[in-house]
């Protein structure tokens, strides 16, 4: 019998309630490899991780409906915009400010309610035989609205969370009015009505349906790894990566985030788990299985990322990712008003 179990029994006998050696994670990250990390955490600490997997919207709906009766301790999902909006709904609490978390995560990638556990960049992919170096020179997100890209751009739907956060960052930096005009230009430049996921945008460039695409960095590495089949692997070899806004604020960065749920019954265990996810061991596990960028210093990205996407780029460390949730409604409005399907 583990020591924690004896303590739990004593608390039950003396105080009438038990101390659970567990943590309940509502998980919207769809990576099987993450479960291996949670098992490692249990082996190290004796704290059992109860994993509730699902789509972000469904998990959020469940936690909101359950309210104070929810068993959720941590909500782990992709994109700071989701964590920001969840916080705005009053569903999170402060407390993710331990010395270990503050030391590991730069201030612009965390709040006291949620923190980044891995990073990703939303960049441009291009067909090298159809896009010249002169066209790429000085490319920014803002210049994707330039008429020279008319009929040459593919990007996901306006409802996609990655796009909502990207456009939210533009609203934050350039204002709503300017971003609304930009969105009209982007729509005019689309090679097709938005469809498919990020990999579908890269596939479209490889197939000659477009010359440039907007997609997150880790998707190209995932395709190159062969995990999505030989067709996608070959398509990925036909495109090149480009980091926008290198001459000003830097490339748009986002995160996978862990949020501390309001009323978490196992708050201290939740904080311990987040601290574990920010250790070199866990960060190496992330980069080698999900192909994201590490959140902490001292851990290298996966070789597929290093060799085919690159690490030598200026990140936007000026724009706090907390603004993605705060400006999300404005972002969606400017996109839909522009006719961005």
Q: What is the DSSP string of 92-107?
A: B-S----HHHHHHS-G
What is the tens place of the pLDDT at every residue in 175-211? 999 999 999 999 999 999 999 999 999 999 999 999 9
> Which is nearest to 115 in space by CA: 288, 310, 276?
276
Nearest to 72 by CA among 28, 117, 23: 23
Rg of the chain (C-alpha set): 21
What's the pLDDT score for residue 193? Answer: 98
Task: Region of 95 please: left (phi>0), alpha (psi -120 to 50) or beta.
Answer: left
How far apart, in whole angstroms, are the C-alpha atoms of residue 222 and residue 8? 43
pLDDT band per the 50, 70, 90 thresholds, residue 33: confident
Q: What is the pLDDT of residue 31?
A: 81
Mean pLDDT of 143-166: 98
Query: Which residues are within 8 A (CB) of 43 and not within 5 positions of it... i.e. 6 or more apart?
Result: none
248 token code pair: 């000003």
Say if residue 230's pLDDT is above 70.
yes
Q: What fold does the segment set 121-252+314-337 form as a domain?
A: D-Maltodextrin-Binding Protein; domain 2 (3.40.190)
Give residue for tokens 């945008």.
201
> Which of 332, 241, 247 is closest to 293 using CA atoms?
241
Q: What pLDDT is stored for residue 19 in this prediction? A: 52
pLDDT tens for each residue of 254-274: 999 999 999 999 999 999 999
**What is the pLDDT of the chain when averaged over all its residues?**
94
| For residue 7, pLDDT beyond 80 | no
In this structure, the number of other CB atoms found within 10 A of the CB of residue 33 comes to 12
Looking only at the bridges linking them, the beta strands covering 253-260 and 240-242 are unpaired
Listed by start position, the domains of the chain span 3-119+255-299, 121-252+314-337
Reading the block at residue 19, the tokens are 């101390």
Q: Cα separation of 218 and 255, whole Å? A: 12
Position 15 pLDDT exceeds 70: no
Strands 74-78 and 22-27: parallel
Q: Does domain 3-119+255-299 have CATH number 3.30.2270.10?
A: no
> HSE-up of 35 (CA within 13 Å, CB side)?
7
Would you say 23 and 47 are in contact if contact means Cβ atoms under 8 Å apart?
Answer: yes
Question: What percentage of the chain exceeds 70 in pLDDT?
Answer: 94
- Judge whether 3-119+255-299 and 121-252+314-337 match in fold: yes
Angstrom CA distances, 141 to 130, 177, 232, stand at 19, 16, 26
For residue 8, the model assigns a pLDDT of 44
Q: What is the average per-residue pLDDT within 167-173?
A: 98
Phi, psi angle pair for 161, to nearest 5°: -60, -35
Residue 143, pLDDT score? 98
Higher pLDDT, 54 or 6: 54
Which letter does DSSP use for residue 205 in this model? H
Torsion, CA 86, CA 87, CA 90, CA 91, rounded to 10: 60
What is the DSSP-derived secondary structure letter of residue 293? Answer: E
Is the pLDDT at 3 greater than 60? The verdict is: no
The per-residue pLDDT for 161 is 97
pLDDT of 311? 87
pLDDT at 32: 82
């Amino acid at each position: 019998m583990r020591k924690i179990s004896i303590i739990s029994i004593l608390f039950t006998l003396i105080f009438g309630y038990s101390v659970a050696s567990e943590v309940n994670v509502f998980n919207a990250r769809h990576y099987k490899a993450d479960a291996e990390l949670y098992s490692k955490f249990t082996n190290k600490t004796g704290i059992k991780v109860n994993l509730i997997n699902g789509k972000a919207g469904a998990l959020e709906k469940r936690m909101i409906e359950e309210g104070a009766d929810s068993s959720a301790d941590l909500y782990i999902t992709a994109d700071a915009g989701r964590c920001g909006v969840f916080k705005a709904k009053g569903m999170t609490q402060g407390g993710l400010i331990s010395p270990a978390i503050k030391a590991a995560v730069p201030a612009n990638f965390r709040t006291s309610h949620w923190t980044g556990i891995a990073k990703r960049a939303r960049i441009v992919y291009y067909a090298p035989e159809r896009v010249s170096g002169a066209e790429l020179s000085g490319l920014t997100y803002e210049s994707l609205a330039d008429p020279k890209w008319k009929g040459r751009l593919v990007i996901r739907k306006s409802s996609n969370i990655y796009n909502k956060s990207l456009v939210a960052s533009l609203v934050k930096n350039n204002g709503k009015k300017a971003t609304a005009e930009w969105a009209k230009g982007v729509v005019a430049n689309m090679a097709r009505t938005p469809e498919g996921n990020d990999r579908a945008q890269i596939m479209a460039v490889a197939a000659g349906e477009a010359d440039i695409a907007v997609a997150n960095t880790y998707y190209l590495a995932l395709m190159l790894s062969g995990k999505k089949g030989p067709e996608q692997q070959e398509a990925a070899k036909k495109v090149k990566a480009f980091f926008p806004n290198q001459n000003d604020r830097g490339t748009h960065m986002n995160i996978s985030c862990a949020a501390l749920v309001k009323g978490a019954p196992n708050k201290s265990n939740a904080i311990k788990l987040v601290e574990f996810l920010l250790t070199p061991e866990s960060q190496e596990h992330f980069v080698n299985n999900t192909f994201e960028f590490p959140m902490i210093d001292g851990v290298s990205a996966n070789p597929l990322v290093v060799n085919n996407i690159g690490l030598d780029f200026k990140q936007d460390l000026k724009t706090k990712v907390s603004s993605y949730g705060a400006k999300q409604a404005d972002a969606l409005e400017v996109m839909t008003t522009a006719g961005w399907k």
